[in-house]
Structure 1
Amino acid sequence: MSAPFIPPDIVLLTAPQLLGMMFNWGLWGILTVQVYLYYLFFNDSLRVRALVYTLYFLECVQTALSSADIIHWFSKGWGQLSFLSDPYVNPIDLPMMAGLIAMTVQLYFTWRIWILSASLPLAIFIGAISVAQCVAGFVAGIQALQVGDLTKLSSLLAPKLWLAGAAISDTLIAVAMCYFLYRARQRSLVPHTNYILKRIISLTIETNALSASVAIITLILFIRFPNNTLFICPPYALGKLYSNTLLVIFNNRMVLPNDNGKTASIGLKGLTAANHAHTSDHSSRIQDDGIKITVLRQTDGEPSDMDLDMESQRGVHTMTKRISLDAAPRR
């Protein structure tokens, strides 16, 4: 029996699928850690927690379906070239579920834009684009299942609309969020608030730019290389990027305590969350007499920005004081 013919460009059919699945698994592991940290340190409203855990559930389903694709292509279809171009359940776990996850995260950011800007038309416009890309993703998945060949999808319009809509929505969200956050930063006179807004602006630019770039790269590969599966690799990471983006924004509220070199590492117990009982720690070390004074203030709710600013200027708190003596004797 003669060996099956192997085309010279076989790597363009196998490598994108395998690498895309590796990115998918890796980002799912990162997302799992982020969700675990969120579970440990935050007790947000029911709606926010439902959003986080629903996204994680969808990502677990998407990862399971993607794993089924790899088993179908490289295990069940081992040595059979026809299996490499068979969509199997790929149209479900990529355009459909990735579009749904992207829409969920984008609508959350759209709601934040509405809160920041109080501009309902702008929020409706961005939300409409987000919903449209999700619908296009579902249509693209249905059409891919009907075609039955991953190398013959270049003539379809729906995948292009899905990827273009995701990129446009991410770009609009990044621009709008940065503009309104920057405007709020310009109006604020509190250094603590300015620092927080600056950090949120940086995160918004980095995360949304990354997801938009992946969508644009996928669109370019889909149009430029229609006869192979290069366009499959980037979108395997697209849904996970959206979910990780949201968890990065949420978990960014965690604060790491100062490490003076006394401990080798900071474990989970060394983390404090911003929505727990707030603790403001201001330390001053007097070198002459070896006295270290640590002043703590603990309140039930979130302190105002003005309170934080006054505390940093005065260094005096009225709730609790703790004084510890160093080894050096006091003169």
Structure 2
Amino acid sequence: MASGPAPPLPNVQLSYGPMIVGVFFNMILYGVLAGQTLSYFQVYRKDATWMRLFVGFLFAVETANTALDMAMMYEPLILKYGQKPIFFPTVFMTEPLCIVLVSMPIQLFFAWRIHQLTKSLWVPLIISVFGVASFAGGLWTAIRVQMLREFIKKPLLHNSALLWFLAACVADVLITISLVKTLSQKKTGFAATDSVLDRIIRMTIQTGMITALFSILDVVCFMALPASFHYAVNFVWDLALSKLYSNCLLSTLNARHKLNDASHGSTFQQRRSVVLSPARSGSGKQESFFDSAPASGSVTYGGTITEGHLPDLEYGIHMTKIVERMEDPVPRTVVAQ
């Protein structure tokens, strides 16, 4: 007896399609993160122990996140192939949890660095509050996903997801604005020093705003398509979000080595210009003063005409001041004949 035509397979392009694209982005960024982590542990052996443990913790969470994301897509596309997308994958609830386990510590780290730079409590405190609120929203979302489990109930996740995404976005924007403003105030007027500071500012904007942009795209796509449960476009941005946080932090930490090389030349040129300065003291010797060398592994910028040791600019970056004291030459006395 001839069998009838097979029933058509369900269309999963708008449900699992964005999710698998997001997993692809996640895996690509994990490869970048693995390289950056290896470079960090090879180059910055003298960083504080807590900092190295922090980087190790982030890499461990990201490794688990990538493995769980692959398992998350293996279930509906292989184990349940051909079935209508009704339920969230079993391990889907681990995604928001992994993201906030990465994002909140990084946001608190930046808040601490801003406090070290500005000696102010208000802005770091506000950033910390939004970071903790984002963590609470992500944890709430993970619990709700496990309770609801069905794609059609996705609109019931809006409140928790809105708290998670918006709080993270506000924290990222505050971090970027605070660092840019603080670093801009550290400019000295020396072209070589300011050019290096400009590079740090550009890097801060690039790394800070990219996470804020992905958070905004995530929440916009999540909230803009509430009527149809099978729309999951937001997962293109969501599943790559944790890797963006980790890669942005590691790229900033690893950039210290290149900035160090660039600043050595600037500092040498400025010191050389001081030595060759025509101004001399009354004893016939030029007086120029250099502060003690900064800690090993730090980046050195030269050219500030201030006294006292300057604090860390960012992530173990120091400034070395060059102070030059010049006295007006003593005019020769004309003796009448």
TM range, smaller chain = 0.7 to 0.9
TM-fit CA distance, 1:184: 1.4
Q: 3-state SS of the aligned residue for 1:134?
A: helix
TM-fit CA distance, 1:232: 1.6
The residue type paired with residue 205 of structure 1 is: I
The residue type paired with residue 209 of structure 1 is: M
- For 1:329, the equivalent position in structure 2 comes to none
1:158-307 pair list within 5 angstroms: 158-185=160-187, 188-226=188-226, 227=229, 228-255=231-258, 301=296, 305-306=302-303
TM-fit CA distance, 1:77: 1.1
Tell me if structure 2 keeps the 8 A contact 1:150–1:229. Answer: no
TM-fit CA distance, 1:153: 1.6
1:112-191 pair list within 5 angstroms: 112-156=113-157, 157-185=159-187, 188-191=188-191
The residue type paired with residue 114 of structure 2 is: I
The residue type paired with residue 239 of structure 1 is: S
State which of 78, 82, 92 in structure 2 corresponds to 1:75: 78
CA distance in 1, matches of 2:178, 2:13: 41
CA distance in 1, matches of 2:39, 2:50: 18
1:45-64 pair list within 5 angstroms: 45-64=48-67
C-alpha spacing 1:309/1:113, structure 2 compared with 1 (3 Å) = closer
1:259-317, Cα deviation, whole Å (9 max, x unpaired): xxxxxxxxxxxxx879xxx89888xxxxxxxxxxxxxxxx885666259787xxxxxxx
Q: 3-state SS of the aligned residue for 2:6?
A: coil
- For 2:19, the equivalent position in structure 1 comes to 17
Tell me if structure 2 keeps the 8 A contact 1:95–1:159. Answer: no
The residue type paired with residue 305 of structure 1 is: G
Q: Where does structure 2 lack aligned partners over 5 or more consecutive residues?
A: 270-292, 305-319, 323-337
Tell me if structure 2 keeps the 8 A contact 1:254–1:273. Answer: yes
TM-fit CA distance, 1:3: 3.0
**Identical-residue share of aligned pairs (%):** 29
The residue type paired with residue 14 of structure 2 is: L
- For 1:90, the equivalent position in structure 2 comes to 92
CA distance in 1, matches of 2:204, 2:35: 21
C-alpha spacing 1:10/1:194, structure 2 compared with 1 (3 Å) = same
Tell me if structure 2 keeps the 8 A contact 1:134–1:162. Answer: yes
TM-fit CA distance, 1:190: 4.0
Q: 3-state SS of the aligned residue for 1:10?
A: coil
Q: Report the number of matched residues.
A: 273
TM-score (norm 1): 0.75
TM-fit CA distance, 1:163: 0.7
Tell me if structure 1 keeps the 8 A contact 2:9–2:82. Answer: no
CA distance in 2, matches of 1:304, 1:212: 30
The residue type paired with residue 13 of structure 1 is: S
CA distance in 2, matches of 1:241, 1:222: 19
1:33 and 2:35 correspond: yes
CA distance in 2, matches of 1:33, 1:98: 20
TM-fit CA distance, 1:197: 1.7
Tell me if structure 2 keeps the 8 A contact 1:87–1:145. Answer: no
TM-fit CA distance, 1:52: 0.8
TM-fit CA distance, 1:10: 3.0
The structure in which a higher percent of residues are strand is: 1
CA distance in 1, matches of 2:132, 2:236: 24
TM-fit CA distance, 1:209: 0.8
Tell me if structure 1 keeps the 8 A contact 2:15–2:232. Answer: yes
Compare CA radii of gyration and give the structure with the larger one.
2
Q: 3-state SS of the aligned residue for 1:73?
A: helix
TM-fit CA distance, 1:14: 2.3
C-alpha spacing 1:51/1:191, structure 2 compared with 1 (3 Å) = farther
TM-score (norm 2): 0.74
CA distance in 1, matches of 2:53, 2:199: 26
The residue type paired with residue 212 of structure 1 is: A
CA RMSD of aligned residues (A): 2.6
1:222-265, Cα deviation, whole Å (9 max, x unpaired): 11123222122211110000000000101101239xxxxxxxxx
- For 2:273, the equivalent position in structure 1 comes to none
